[in-house]
């Protein structure tokens, strides 16, 4: 492959660069040779502080040359070198010095450097050549095998006579719409889109060749016995896991707060679902399942009272348990404790870590993830699903499925592969595979540094919001808040979060651990050392409701703020009634903090001045003038807040989620009715009472099922009806705030939207 050295500049840290000294002259000469002969560039840095900035902000440095004389204080030089090495384990570091000084070079420096550049000993040509050798080796070392093979193949410019039909992009050039797309993405994307008939790249379905190597590498890095790359998201990872172990009429013990893909897995496997029920707090945030729900007696009771499980199966052991870790809102479980209990009661453990692929790479998450290395005496096979694409760096839909063998029961790779292949395409997208391998390599090389930077940045943003809120409260004013520990133990004293040093917060799990005593979180009966909050999942709170669920006199619905932010180019991850969630991933830049805070201040100003909605949401006002014209932003927030209050929407939502409705058939049997078209659309009103759902109903927020297929809407689940009707009426009252409810279709009746859903035909 032709190397483009320009993409990998050499960082030269020396204050001689611009001086009229012998050394300065030679540095400039070396720099010229690098530029002219190798098309490389030198980034000059004349001070240690400047060099540190560069090291923190750039990951494209090909080699660093450090002048040993950049400072008379050699411990400063040693500190700089340690910092470079800490941030990058393999980046070549060359020490520039003269031979006489060798004896004085401290061991700390010798330990981290890769070689020397003798200032005046060798020729400039020789030194430039040596530098390039280091750059060259380094570039090779950052390319894992699959990506290296793919990139090499793409650069070989072969004539392809195989799929995909666009043939390296050429097909797109035959029509203007295609040309437009080709120009947008650039040629490389298409040249790297190859057919499975390229033997050099191995086979994803057989896990052979460089693809197989990449999966094995990921397994090693993520602590798994096997890893499978899944190119259609964790939605499919979840189904593969269940389908591989569960069959008809076996029992699955599953988080009611699970992703809907697990509900589809219930349909596919025809399993009996038995639910764990997560707590909720007054803000409506979904919390953890109680630890005692994992105990044998509890599970047995759930099975006993389940009307669908026949008598002769009541004694069956749970075949698969599935828990969401972390939840959307950043609730993470001490998996070690759960494993210790569940290992006796279930045959397979599944942790859905779609939002949490980074956990292994930072000590703050110790013991809180499925692939944790622990010394459990005995455990069943453990399965973990991860959307690498969600919070690490992979193309969308690129996910990983990790498996750890049980102590006594090993998972047979080739048997498992039979299920894997059922969900895989025979035309995998190679760039997605490459992105999974690169995500692995990035975390392997410097995952802890990446995560630490990310956590520190998130902590700074958290503190800033708290500080602003405190300042405003002191002036009897308001600001947005943050759902997080208000105080934590620091130096043996309960200390305000914002007064604890960032590094301490980023390195002490106990700051984030939920407890019953320090109840900032609002969850009842919190067990000790069981749950922590993820520092990088930021829930912003608005005035309007307190942690106990009491509504306040005035309030700001989060959906209004979220719409405002969208108009300012800021998109939140999830909006609840009085909170929204922002994800702080390794792709988040500090610039985003500033933009977000500025937009929140703008909202505050517009709200405080009650600026006309026609200025804030002109499109909504133009579309629904009868509802919104002449109203100010504060009036609008008051109207919605009062509506929520008067109609008790939050409590209705809580009540709807608290009880599991009666099950009249398995989700898979309800689905059979869909296939056979033995279903009918029914209005969500009193008329629906007594009917069995054909499909699941999933309101967003919070995105978890309120009813499953096969469950009955009757007096036991009346809260569900109350909640849905209130939501429907709210939407009619406040057009533009329609939210997504999977399973609900709206039809128009006398100028109003009426919710309908699919029930089993009677
Ligand atoms: C807990 C959980 N599991 C699985 C998924 C599905 O992941 P993907 O989008 O990768 O299919 C999601 C998606 O939001 C999720 O929240």
127: CATH:
3.40.50.2300
CA of 734 to the centre of ligand 1 (A): 30
3 state DSSP class of 138: helix
CA of 352 to the centre of ligand 1 (A): 8
- Same domain for 117 and 152, yes or no, is no
Strand order in the sheet with 349-352: 226-230, 399-404, 382-386, 349-352, 320-324, 251-255, 272-276
User: What residues flank ligand 1, with Cβ below 6 Å?
Assistant: 233-235, 238, 259, 261, 324, 352, 354, 387, 399
- Same domain for 133 and 177, yes or no, is no
- Same domain for 541 and 584, yes or no, is yes
- Same domain for 167 and 128, yes or no, is no
Please report the atom of ligand 1 found closest to the CA of residue 235.
11
**Cα separations (Å) of 640 from 220, 544, 652, 683?**
52, 11, 16, 25
Token pair in block for residue 135 = 């750059």
- Same domain for 579 and 621, yes or no, is yes
Please report the atom of ligand 1 found closest to the CA of residue 399.
10
CA of 285 to the centre of ligand 1 (A): 18
Please report the atom of ligand 1 found closest to the CA of residue 232.
11
The answer to whether 295 touches 341, Cβ cutoff 8 Å, is yes
Which regions in the chain score pLDDT beneath 50? Answer: 1
**pLDDT score recorded for residue 267:** 94
Comparing CA positions, the residue from 403, 472, 487, 400 lying closest to residue 437 is 400
Q: Specify the number of domains making up the chain.
A: 4
- Same domain for 509 and 657, yes or no, is no
pTM of the model: 0.94
Comparing CA positions, the residue from 673, 716, 717 lying closest to residue 695 is 673
Position 755 in a domain: yes
Position 402 in a domain: no
Position 558 in a domain: yes
**Cα separations (Å) of 370 from 155, 224, 292, 404?**
40, 10, 19, 9
Kindly give, in sequence order, each residue whose CB lies less than 8 Å from that of residue 696, ignoring residues fewer than 6 positions away. Answer: 260, 263, 667, 705, 707, 708, 709, 742, 743
Domain that holds residue 727: 649-760
CA of 235 to the centre of ligand 1 (A): 6
Kindly give, in sequence order, each residue whose CB lies less than 8 Å from that of residue 555, ignoring residues fewer than 6 positions away. Answer: 542, 543, 544, 545, 578, 637, 641, 644, 645
CA of 399 to the centre of ligand 1 (A): 10
Q: Which residue has the tokens 């329609």?
A: 738
Position 238 in a domain: no
Q: What is the pLDDT of residues 95-114, one digit of tens each?
A: 998 766 777 788 888 889 99
Residue nearest to atom 1 of ligand 1 (CA): 259
- Same domain for 495 and 634, yes or no, is yes
**pLDDT score recorded for residue 157:** 76
Count of residues in the chain? 762
The long-range contacts involving 294-301, CB below 8 angstroms and separated by at least 24 positions, are: 294/321, 294/338, 294/341, 294/342, 294/345, 295/341, 295/345, 296/344, 296/345, 299/253, 299/274, 299/345, 299/346
CATH number of the structural domain spanning residue 485? 3.90.1150.10
Position 273 in a domain: no
Last-in-domain residue among 127, 160, 191: 191
Please report the atom of ligand 1 found closest to the CA of residue 396.
10
């Amino acid at each position: 492959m032709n190397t483009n050295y320009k993409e990998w500049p050499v960082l030269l840290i020396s204050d001689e660069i611009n001086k009229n000294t012998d050394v300065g002259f030679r540095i400039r000469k070396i720099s010229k040779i690098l530029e002219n002969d190798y098309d490389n560039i030198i980034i000059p840095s004349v001070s240690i502080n400047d060099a540190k900035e560069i090291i923190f902000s750039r990951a494209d440095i090909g080699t660093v040359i450090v002048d040993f004389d950049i400072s008379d204080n050699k411990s400063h030089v040693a500190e700089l070198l340690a910092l470079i090495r800490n941030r990058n384990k393999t980046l070549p570091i060359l020490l520039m010095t003269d031979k006489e000084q060798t004896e004085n070079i401290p061991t700390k420096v010798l330990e981290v450097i890769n070689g020397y550049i003798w200032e005046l000993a060798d020729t400039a040509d020789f030194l430039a050549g040596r530098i390039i050798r280091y750059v060259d080796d380094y570039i090779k070392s950052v390319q894992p095998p699959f990506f290296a093979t793919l990139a090499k193949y793409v650069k070989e410019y072969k004539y392809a006579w195989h799929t995909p039909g666009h043939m390296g992009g050429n097909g797109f050039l035959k029509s203007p719409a295609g040309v437009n797309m080709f120009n947008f993405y650039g040629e490389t994307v298409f040249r790297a889109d190859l057919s499975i008939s390229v033997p050099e790249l191995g086979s994803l379905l057989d896990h052979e060749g460089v693809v197989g190597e990449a999966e094995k590498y990921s397994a090693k890095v993520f602590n798994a016995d096997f890893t499978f790359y899944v190119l259609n998201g964790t939605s499919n990872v979840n189904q593969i896991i269940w389908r591989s172990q569960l069959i008809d009429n076996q029992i699955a013990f599953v988080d009611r707060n699970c992703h809907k893909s697990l509900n589809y897995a219930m349909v596919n496997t025809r399993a009996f679902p038995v639910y764990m029920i997560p707590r909720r707090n007054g803000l409506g945030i979904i919390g953890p399942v109680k630890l005692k729900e994992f105990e044998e007696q509890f599970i047995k009771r759930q099975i006993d009272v389940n009307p669908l499980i026949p008598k002769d199966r009541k004694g069956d052991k749970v075949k698969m348990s599935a828990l969401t870790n972390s939840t959307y809102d950043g609730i993470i479980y001490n998996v070690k404790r759960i494993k210790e209990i569940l290992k006796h009661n279930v045959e397979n453990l599944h942790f859905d870590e779609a939002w949490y692929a980074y956990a292994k790479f930072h000590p703050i998450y110790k013991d809180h993830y499925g692939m944790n290395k622990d010394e459990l005496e005995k455990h069943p096979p453990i399965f973990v699903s991860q959307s690498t694409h969600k919070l690490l760096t992979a193309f969308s839909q690129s996910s990983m499925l990790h498996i750890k063998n049980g102590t006594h029961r090993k998972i047979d790779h080739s048997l498992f592969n039979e299920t894997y292949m059922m969900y895989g395409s025979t035309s995998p997208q190679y760039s997605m595979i490459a992105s999974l391998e690169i995500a692995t390599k990035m975390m392997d090389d410097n995952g802890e540094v990446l995560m630490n930077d990310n956590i520190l940045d998130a902590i700074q943003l958290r503190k800033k919001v708290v500080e602003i809120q405190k300042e405003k409260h002191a002036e009897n004013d308001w600001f947005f808040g943050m759902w997080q520990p208000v105080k934590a133990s620091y130096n043996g004293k309960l200390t305000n979060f914002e007064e604890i040093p960032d590094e301490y917060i980023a390195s002490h799990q106990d700051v984030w651990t939920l407890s019953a005593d320090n109840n900032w979180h609002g969850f009842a009966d919190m067990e000790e050392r069981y749950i922590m909050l993820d520092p990088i999942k930021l829930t912003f709170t608005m005035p309007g409701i307190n942690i106990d669920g009491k509504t306040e006199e005035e309030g700001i619905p989060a959906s209004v703020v979220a719409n405002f932010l969208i108009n300012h180019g800021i998109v939140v991850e999830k909006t609840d009634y009085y909170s929204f969630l922002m994800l702080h991933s390794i792709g988040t830049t500090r610039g985003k903090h500033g933009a977000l805070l500025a937009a929140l201040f703008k909202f505050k100003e517009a709200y405080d001045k009650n600026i006309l909605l026609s200025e804030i949401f002109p499109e909504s006002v133009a579309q629904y003038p009868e509802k919104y014209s002449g109203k100010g932003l504060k009036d609008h927030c008051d109207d919605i807040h009062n509506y929520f209050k008067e109609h008790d929407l939050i409590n209705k939502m809580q009540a709807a989620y608290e009880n599991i409705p009666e099950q009249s058939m398995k989700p898979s049997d309800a689905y059979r009715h869909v296939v056979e078209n033995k279903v009918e659309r029914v209005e969500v009103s009193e008329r629906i009472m007594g009917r069995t759902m054909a499909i699941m109903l999933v309101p967003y927020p919070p995105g978890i099922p309120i009813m499953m297929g096969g469950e009955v809407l009757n007096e036991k689940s009346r809260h569900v009806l109350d909640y849905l009707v209130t939501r429907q009426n709210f939407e009619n009252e406040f057009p533009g705030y329609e939210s997504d409810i999977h399973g609900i279709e709206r039809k128009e009746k006398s100028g109003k939207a009426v919710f309908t859903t699919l029930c089993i035909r009677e």
